Amino acid sequence: MAAAVELAARNVPVSVFEAGPIPGGRARRVEVNGVALDNGLHILIGAYRDTLRLIELVNPHRAAVLQRLPLDWNIHGEFHLAAQRLPAPLHVLIGLLGASGITWREKLAIAQFMRALKRNRFRLAPDIRVEQLLMQYGQSEKLCRVLWRPLCVAALNTPPTIASAQVFLNVLRDSLYAERGASDILLPRVDLSALFPEPAAAWITRRGGQVRTECRVTAIEPAENSFVIETGGTRETFTHVICALPPHQVNAFLIGITALSETAESIERFEYQPIHSVWLQYPGSIKLPSPMLGFTGGIVHWIFDREALCGQRGLIGAVISASGAHLQLPQDQLAAAVHQDLKRSLGNLPEPAWARVIAEKRATFSCTPGLKRPSQVTPLRNFYVAGDYTESDYPATIETAVRSGMTCARRICA
């Protein structure tokens, strides 16, 4: 959708084929019991420059669709760091001085770690695992548990035992060490399809483009100076293709096209990490102390209060990122375990009226050290690949996907 908006903005007549009934892909609305949920709760940060610009372009009410909060890292009952309204990097450093739940020695260890990273310009050669990096810089078990591990898993959706330290540092560089607003947290106040892809589709249509939902592409055939796209029984010819499928599905189209064999091979080597989202509908009187709250020690990583964000009273969304013991549980047991976790931490919660687990088994690629990711520009002329898995110094995020789409669109226009 980012590629299509960028092309439509330059008056290129663009057609988007979307297999699903609702645009949004891995960040989309899912309706359950007549309630608009998301397939997974998503957080944006101020550093998502291009995503925020596109949301603003297609959605005239940006302030109404995103709640912007200064960084507030609140691990329930264990650790709390709130960024201050000061110029960077003082906003985080002064926040660190006032943080609760860690010792002065641990605060100093964080400050020294951050200073060393800055001195080395956030570069590592060669890339190592996040766990190794944290050990090298003497980060205590508690700091890893309440800060670095949750930050690594939230940003890379990959456990620190296997995650790329270089990509982790890129995220720290552009969020905590950039201007103050870059570390802000932006939480959607509407469902994810209403946040960007639906207004984007309307915007593209107004500029003469087309967005066809429930329109699955079944084949892409390179022809002379063009491509034939097959959807069901229909065949149409286009001058350029941006193939914006998720990495685990894209090779069905690339394998078999000789010029794309290297691209396909690099994608074949990817491994994936899941994300589980558990929605629990409690009575309307149930509220969280803040819109977003972190946990360690149990199954749940983060919970979100949908009333504070979208006005959905009593609805709590819980996130469990990456692999872990929870994968062994059937969905009803997982929902019950999440409820028990919340009860233990928050006090006497009543049984939820209903609960729903949404499992995204291949939510993102595993962001491991030195992973080679394919370029958006392929050796096949006028054929591009876009998505969160393509060449970038960021992990699989909305911003990565958006930048990737924009790169393709700009290359086409150039």
Binding positions for ligand FAD, rule: CB under 6 A: 17-20, 25-27, 39-40, 42-43, 216-217, 244-246, 249, 275, 277, 360, 363-364, 387-388, 396-398, 401
We find the least distance from the C-beta atom of residue 390 to ligand FAD, in angstroms, to be 8
- Chain-centre distance for alpha carbon 235: 34
Residue 114 vs 363, nearer CB to ligand FAD = 363
Cβ closer to ligand FAD: 106 or 399?
A: 399
Q: Is 11 left (phi over 0), alpha (psi -120 to 50) or beta?
A: left
Q: Tell me the three state secondary structure of residue 20.
A: coil
Residue closer to ligand FAD by CB (options 72, 132) is 72
Q: Which is nearer to ligand FAD, 47 or 83 (CB)?
A: 47
Residue 203 dihedral angles phi and psi, to the nearest 5°? -65, -45
With vertex at residue 18, the alpha carbon angle to CA 17 and CA 20, rounded to the nearest 5 degrees, is 155
Report the 10 Å Cβ neighbour count for 79: 21
Q: Nearest approach, Cβ of 320 to ligand FAD (angstroms)?
A: 10
* Residue partners of 246: CB distance under 8 A and separation at least 6: 25, 26, 362, 387, 389
Find the shortest distance in angstroms from Cβ 231 to ligand FAD: 7
Cβ proximity of 305 and 287 under 8 Å: yes
Q: Nearest approach, Cβ of 77 to ligand FAD (angstroms)?
A: 23
Report the candidate in 31, 42, 43 with the shortest Cα–Cα distance to residue 356.
31
Q: Nearest distance from residue 42's CB to ligand FAD, in Å?
A: 4
Closer Cβ to ligand FAD, 162 or 401, answer by number: 401
State which residue, 18 or 106, has the beta carbon closest to ligand FAD: 18
- Cα 241 → chain centroid: 25
- Quote the least distance from Cβ 380 to ligand FAD, whole Å: 18
